[in-house]
Amino acid sequence: MEGIILPLKKRNYNTYGGNHLMTVIKMSAAQIARKVVENQPLFILDVRNTESYEEWKIEGRNFEYLNIPYFELLDGVNEILPKLPTDKEVLVVCAKEGSSLMVAEMVSDAGRDVFYLEGGMKSWSSHLEPIKLGELTSGGEIYQFVRLGKGCLSYMIISEGEAAIIDAVRFTDVFTNFAKERNVSIKHVFDTHLHADHISGGRLIAEETGATYYLPPKDADDVLFDFAPLEDGLTLKIGASKIEVGALYSPGHTIGSTSFIVDSTYLLTGDILFIDSIGRPDLAGVAEDWVGDLRETLYHRYRELAEDLIVLPAHFMIVKELNEDGTVAKRLGDLFKENHGLNMESEEEFYNTVTVNLPPQPNAYVQIRRVNMGKITPNNDEQTEMEIGPNRCAVR
Amino acid sequence: MESAQVLDAKGLSCPMPIIRTKKEIDKLNSGEILEVHVTDKGALADMPAWANAAGHVILNQKEEAEVLTFLIRKG
């Protein structure tokens, strides 16, 4: 077991029979995130019910899986032992931790080394991995916050003591602490659109820090709080230097969807354009109305931009979209060549792709939109429940 | 319909509701009925999936004031 960071944990877990003192090893979401990013191998024994597993699991390029619900293992794990490899780490995963700990202890009791996921899929869904994307003019920096479990991407731009945040997820303390550690004050907080797959942390961060919260007014007809209008051509400077954040109206996923060009180098596309897919126009219920806007944005507005811009989307769907360093970023010109969604000559094919046979909608997306409008304020557990599952914002 | 037994698994979190339910069901004869009260939301999907895999039948389930009630007939 050398080379692994192991807080060895002993527990007296005798509620289901026996009085054994067993040893199992916990693995945190952060440790798994490193394995995903570094393409390490891992064998995942997922003990959630099959429906939950098939809908959403921990994705890694070199991960292998076995799904056996914990309630089929109550009489013992002997039958599955032959299926568990001995030449790689075995991680037991469940929704909240309890069942994975039980199964891990049974496996450990049978004489195998085994890990369990601390906090379960709930914790995996919440983990944010900040990764530096690059340097900006005059010593500025841009960071991507990768939420691997949910496929959400948030951004922070830092320059000369000031910061701007784009598409923050709801774990506001991750962003505010990150800013504190770097001794910068958060001045501007943007959402590229009214999100339907996850709860935005933008408004709360702005309230906590005194920053201005911007939202596209066309997405905000029904919101119950004050915001600054994010409109086409809005340009802001971060810090005293020349780092510019410019807004580009780019409707289609929602009618208000707005992109950003940062320091003439990065194009933040929100949910309009992803690495291997494009945005879906139906999550506000009016796909047919917005298809034309989506086509216009992807095939005309973006075509007018410099091909060397680095596209930074608000989501990824599959681990294949991650770069070697764990970031999700690609040159716009490359996407014009490689992204199928940008290469549909026929308007009819495009129309059918984005309106017919769409993937299922994200979990609780109607409720999530209501939270982001300020209409309902669920507690933390309820928010976690709403966000369970993949983001499903794209069509391929 | 009279329940043969009532199991209060309120406040317990996964996997305990199913472990307790299984323990109680094991004491019953085939065809007898157990009523289980649970607050862990995970039971919503897991209890029917477990019952199905174990050959028991969920006769009725309801949710009232955050409490899930399952009526399970032993298979």
Task: Report the CATH superfamily, name and number, of domain B5-73.
Answer: TusA-like domain (3.30.110.40)
Q: How far off is chain B from A124, nearest CA to CA, in Å?
A: 17
Q: Give the type of residue at A192.
A: T
Contact flag B14-A16 (C-beta cutoff 8 Å): no
Whether the CB-CB separation of A136 and B54 falls below 8 Å is answered with no
- In-domain check, residue A2: no
- How far, in Å, CA of A386 to CA of B61, rounded? 22
pLDDT confidence of residue B13: 92
Gap from B2 CA to chain A (nearest CA, Å): 27
pLDDT digits (tens, 9 = 90+) for A269-318: 999 999 999 999 887 777 778 899 999 999 999 999 999 999 999 999 98
Check B45 against A49: CB less than 8 A apart: yes
**A18 and A142 part of one domain:** no
Q: Which residues of B touch A16 (CB under 8 A)?
A: 19
Instruction: Please report, for chain B, the start and end positions of each structural domain, with discontinuous segments joined by +.
Output: 5-73
Domain encompassing residue A305: 128-395
Distance separating alpha carbons of residues A312 and A200, to the nearest angstrom: 18
What average pLDDT is seen over chain A? 90
Contacts of A95 in chain B (CB under 8 A): 14, 42
HSE at residue A283, side-chain half, CA atoms within 13 A, is 34
CATH classification of the domain holding A31: 3.40.250.10
pLDDT on residue A288: 78
Which residue in the set B14, B45, B50 is minimally distant from A98, CB to CB? B14
Please check whether residue A190 is in contact with residue A167, taking contact to mean a CB–CB distance below 8 angstroms.
yes
Residues of B with CB under 8 A from a CB of A: 13-16, 18-19, 22, 41-42, 45-46, 49-50, 53-54
Final residue belonging to a domain, choices A58, A90, A123? A123
User: Which of A68, A96, A123 is where one domain is finished?
Assistant: A123
pTM above 0.95, yes or no: no
**If pLDDT is split at 50, 70 and 90, which confidence band does A381 have?**
confident
Q: A157, A134 in Cβ contact below 8 A? A: no
Interface of A with B in 71-130 (CB under 8 A): 71-72, 74, 94-96, 98-99, 102
Probe site for chain A from B19, B20, B44 (most A CB atoms < 10 A)? B19
| Tens digits of residue pLDDT in A322-379 | 998 889 999 999 999 999 999 999 999 999 888 887 888 888 889 999 999 999 999 9
Give the pLDDT confidence of A178-234 residue by residue, as tens digits. 999 999 999 999 999 999 999 999 999 999 999 999 999 999 998 999 999 999 999
**Which among B14, B45, B50 is the nearest to A96, CB-wise?**
B14
B9-20, pLDDT tens digit by residue?
Answer: 999 999 999 999
By the 10 Å C-beta count (0-12 exposed, 13-18 middle, 19+ buried), A155 is classed as buried
A57 vs A50: CA distance, rounded Å: 11
| pLDDT tens figures, A127-153 | 998 999 999 988 899 999 999 988 999
Into how many domains does chain A fold?
Answer: 2
Which residue from A74, A99, A385 is facing B14, i.e. has the nearest CB?
A: A99
Q: Are residues A259 and A281 in the same domain?
A: yes
Instruction: Summarize pLDDT for A16-72 with one digit per residue, the tens.
Output: 434 444 478 999 999 999 999 888 999 999 999 999 999 899 999 999 999 999 999
Q: Nearest Cα to B39, choosing from B19, B17, B21, B58?
A: B17
pLDDT band, very low/low/confident/very high, at A3 (cuts 50, 70, 90): very low
| Minimal C-alpha gap between B4 and chain A (Å) | 23
**Residues whose CB is less than 8 angstroms from the CB of residue A240 and which lie 6 or more positions away in sequence, other chains included:** A160
Average pLDDT over chain B, rounded to an integer: 93
Residue B4 has pLDDT above 90, yes or no: no
Identified catalytic residue from A90, A94, A142, A247: A94
User: Who among B15, B45, B54 is closest to A98 (CB)?
Assistant: B15
Instruction: Say whether both A364 and A340 belong to one domain.
Output: yes
B69 in helix, strand or coil?
strand
Please say which residue of A105, A123, A141 terminates a domain: A123
Same domain flag for A278 and A351: yes
At B3, is the pLDDT very low, low, confident or very high (cuts 50, 70, 90)? low
A72 & A136 share domain: no
pLDDT band at residue A12 using 50, 70 and 90 as cut-offs = very low
